[in-house]
Amino acid sequence: MCGIVGYLDKTGSENQPIGKILLGMLEALASRGPDSAGVALFGIPRLNQLIARVKLGNNGDGAQRVLDVKTAAQKFGAQELAQKGDYLRFTFEENGDLKPFLSDIESVAPDVEVVSVGRRLEIVKQVGSPSRLEQSFGISGFLGGHGIGHTRLSTESVVDLSHSQPFWGHGYPDLAIAHNGHITNYHQLRRRYQEHGVRFYTENDSEVVAIFLADKLRQGFPLRAALESMIAELDGSFSCLVATDSALAFVKDPFSFKPLLYTETASFVAIATEEIAIRSAIPGDYTVREAQAKEVQVWQR
């Protein structure tokens, strides 16, 4: 099962209640997967600054752990440090290569993980239902231009924060994915990336989608071409939503195994696993259609 949702504002506004819209959509799909829930929200872009969200690990309640991560972050000029739940959120100066930053923060402890980095992107996810996500983080107050969300029914890997979705394209700023399906050549792909030194944080096959797309975009593929290459190189079932700082997109596998519906009007694009999610979160008169096998759509902001 699993439910995925996406929303993009087409009016150019950066102050849309996307947190509220995505939450409304996710709550309508909660019965498709109550194990964990998450959103990747794209807010007002920072100028030469990145926003980091770090999983503190150790359930985020060890004072020493918080201090250690803060100390590591301060080497990179971290500002606006704030701890909420299992996360430490802060901003820092954009300085080209993210590798030293990621390696320093994540070397604090094995269960410390940088969950997202971007000028706009913030990934918030945890174990439990979409309603619980709202209780913990108040995501309905988040304003921005677009975003994606996921509610998970775990089938093959453990249920914890790191295994929740959306996944960040680890190391590639402002890239997030939400995937419904199974990648059946996951182990083969994973080994290939590991041989090139890529670290995997989970046993979740959806993580490889984020790694795959980050790799393609780094190689200079346009987003649409990167998504088309998924159809050729990934096996199994995937209805997959992808968001970057300036786009919302989806790709569907060649057999159309998993549902995915979308609507586009003059002012917005909404995508969800079931139409019920779009109807319950967004009033108005619009037509919804199911995506076809191998369909790729990219909407630029």
Partner 1 sequence: MAEVDAAGHITREINAAIRQLIAEGSTDITVLNPGARHNLAVAILDGVRIRIAGSAGYYCGGLGDGASIEIEGSAGWGLAESMLSGTIRVHGNAGSGAAAALRNGTIVVHGDAAARLGVSMKGGEVIVAGNCGYMAGFMAQKGTLIVCGDAGEAFADSMYATVCYVGGKIANLGTDAVLSPMDPGERERLEATLNSYLPAALRRTKPAAADFKKVVAGRKLWNFDKREWRIWQEAV
Question: Among 256, 264, 282, 298, which residue interacts with partner 1 (rule: CB under 8 A)?
Answer: 256
Q: Choose the stretch contacting partner 1; rule: CB under 8 A; options: 33-41, 101-109, 133-141, 274-282.
A: 274-282
Phi and psi torsions of 221, nearest 5°: -65, 135
Strand order in the sheet with 3-9: 121-127, 36-42, 146-152, 3-9, 268-272, 261-264, 289-290
In angstroms, what is the minimal distance from the CB of 292 to partner 1? 4
Is position 274 an interface residue for partner 1 (rule: CB under 8 A)?
yes
Is position 136 an interface residue for partner 1 (rule: CB under 8 A)?
no
- Smaller CB distance to partner 1: residue 28 or 183? 28
Buried b (16+ CB within 10 A) or exposed e, 77-107: ebeebebebbbbbbbbeeeeebeebbeebbe
Closest by alpha carbon to 243, among 73, 56, 9, 71? 9
Is position 275 an interface residue for partner 1 (rule: CB under 8 A)?
yes
DSSP secondary structure code for residue 200 in this structure:
P
- Smaller CB distance to partner 1: residue 124 or 241? 241
In angstroms, what is the minimal distance from the CB of 256 to partner 1? 4
In angstroms, what is the minimal distance from the CB of 158 to partner 1? 29
What gap in Å lies between CA 202 and CA 196, rounded to an integer? Answer: 17
SS3 160: coil
Is position 279 an interface residue for partner 1 (rule: CB under 8 A)?
yes
Question: Among 23, 261, 270, 296, which residue interacts with partner 1 (rule: CB under 8 A)?
Answer: 261
Closest by alpha carbon to 4, among 146, 179, 127? 179
In angstroms, what is the minimal distance from the CB of 235 to partner 1? 16
Q: Choose the stretch contacting partner 1; rule: CB under 8 A; options: 46-54, 138-146, 179-187, 289-297.
A: 289-297
In single-letter form, the type of residue at position 25 comes to M
Using CB under 8 A, list all residues that contact partner 1. Answer: 254-256, 259, 261, 274-276, 278-280, 287-293
